[in-house]
Amino acid sequence: MKKLLISFLIILLVSVAVQAVTLEYWMWDPELKGRTEELISKFEEENPDINVNLTVMEPSDYWTKIRIMAMTGKLPDVFNMSSGYIEEWATNGFLKDLTEYVETDINPDEFFVNLFEAGSEIANTEEVYAVPFALVVTVLYYNKDMFDEAGLNYPDSTWDWFDFLNAAEKLTVDKDGDNKIDQWGFWLYGRYAHIESWIYRNGGRLIDRSTMNFDPDENAVEALNFLCRLVTEFNVAPTPKSMEGVRQQDVFPRGLAAMWIDGSWNIDNNRMIAAEDMNWGIAEVPVGPHGVADSAYGWPDFIAMSAKTENADAAWKFIKFAAGEGLTMDMYMAGKIPSYKPLAYSEDFYDETKLPEEMPLLLNIAGKTMRTSFTNSWSEWRGYGPAESMGLNAIIDEILNGDIAFEEGLKKADENINKILDRVYE
């Protein structure tokens, strides 16, 4: 009887020792459900004591539902986190501080460590609250056929504003002599990626992070003024109202403009809808007169851990795997850059049979210092949702359309945006 009891206790102890921990993981991309399930299966094979339950939903549903989970204290152990919300979530105590894990268990040679730094800067803290798994940057898209026809050299990393404007003027063409522009040199409107790229490449900033006020410095004002003059003075770009009804993702592939600037994710879109015989490329955003060549406008996507998880060590193992060695390039749309260097620099990153041939440029940009203007309520002061007409996007469009003067627009932006920031940072 005594031997039987001892045997039972041994079996019980062994079963407890191997009892698996179960993690809940939420993500926002249904298209990656199958590949993420494969990643989880591989992780579970290597970590038989950890199970991972996956929940996937559309981005439009994701933030509504996960906010409810946060407010009720029922967040999943691990979940995807956006640069646009990391400050809010860290400030409210929803995210676990991962600084110690990162400092002791991340090999800085294997990751773009500047992306960890970008996350901390966006969160307005020195701590690390999430691990980057992907990066998007902004690039100058250009139509090589139009450059060839105009006899112009393609943009390169030495381009400044003068080079850009010179090309834009030569690429703005009235093809049939009816005094109407048929081909614009450039195209833009108030969208954040169109505008802020120029600000940070001129060494400027929109937000004073010491006060969390909208307070564009001289370099930012210089960049904003230059952009507005492209439409109102130099006439190398159309007004937003003249392009009403035209989707932004169609402007470049349809040949309405020779150049535009937007996120690197549009590489995937261009491949799908540009004409097969259209030759196009990408380049860095031109540097302004006060610019720093080693800075870029870009932002990571992250994986974060709930501050209330009861399985932090297991959750960390999964985060490290899911942001690093567990990933494959087929989990990234064209133009997204892995934060895990062995994958980013693998032969899978660049398909030489597809445009643009300058894809390796993205890896050069990925190593630069990333700058953004994300804050709490960023989407509100930018002008997305109900606040559209009061946001910075709409104000810039008013200037571009000639409805208000540049100085008046800046004053309006200062008043509108700081009302929001004063409220959220009171």
pLDDT tens by residue, 319-340: 999 999 999 999 999 999 999 9
pLDDT at 124 over 70: yes
213 contacts: CB under 8 Å, gap ≥ 6: 207, 418, 421, 422
pLDDT at 182 over 60: yes
> Helix/strand/coil (H, E, C) string of 191-208?
CHHHHHHHHHCCCCCCEE
Report d(CA 261, CA 241) in Å as an integer. 19
> Would you give the distance in Å from CA 276 to the centre of its chain?
28
Domains and CATH numbers, the chain: 20-135+297-371 (3.40.190.10), 138-295+376-424 (3.40.190.10)
Q: What is the pLDDT of residue 18?
A: 55
Measured on CA atoms in the order 142, 243, 267, 285, is the torsion positive or negative? Answer: positive
Report d(CA 20, CA 49) in Å as an integer. 4
Mean pLDDT calculated for residue range 239-244: 94
Q: What is the pLDDT of residue 175?
A: 93
Phi-psi region of 6 (alpha: psi -120 to 50; beta: other; left: phi over 0): alpha
Asked if the bond preceding 356 is cis, omega within 30° of 0, the reply is yes
Q: What is the pLDDT of residue 19?
A: 77
Confidence of residue 11 (pLDDT cuts 50, 70, 90): very low
pLDDT at 2 over 70: no
For residue 99 the two structure tokens come to 């600084």
pLDDT tens by residue, 286-296: 999 999 889 99
Range list of H helices, 280-391: 312-322, 341-344, 361-366, 378-382
For residue 143 the two structure tokens come to 């139509």
Confidence of residue 247 (pLDDT cuts 50, 70, 90): confident
pLDDT at 45 over 90: yes
pLDDT tens by residue, 191-216: 999 999 999 999 999 999 999 999 99
pLDDT at 97 over 60: yes
pLDDT at 8 over 50: no
pLDDT tens by residue, 336-355: 999 999 999 999 999 999 99
pTM for the full predicted model: 0.93
Confidence of residue 276 (pLDDT cuts 50, 70, 90): confident
pLDDT at 7 over 50: no
Identify which has the larger pLDDT, 285 or 19: 285
pLDDT tens by residue, 362-394: 999 999 999 999 999 999 999 997 778 899 999
Query: Among 6-15, 21-30, 191-200, 266-275, which is the least confidently predicted range?
Result: 6-15
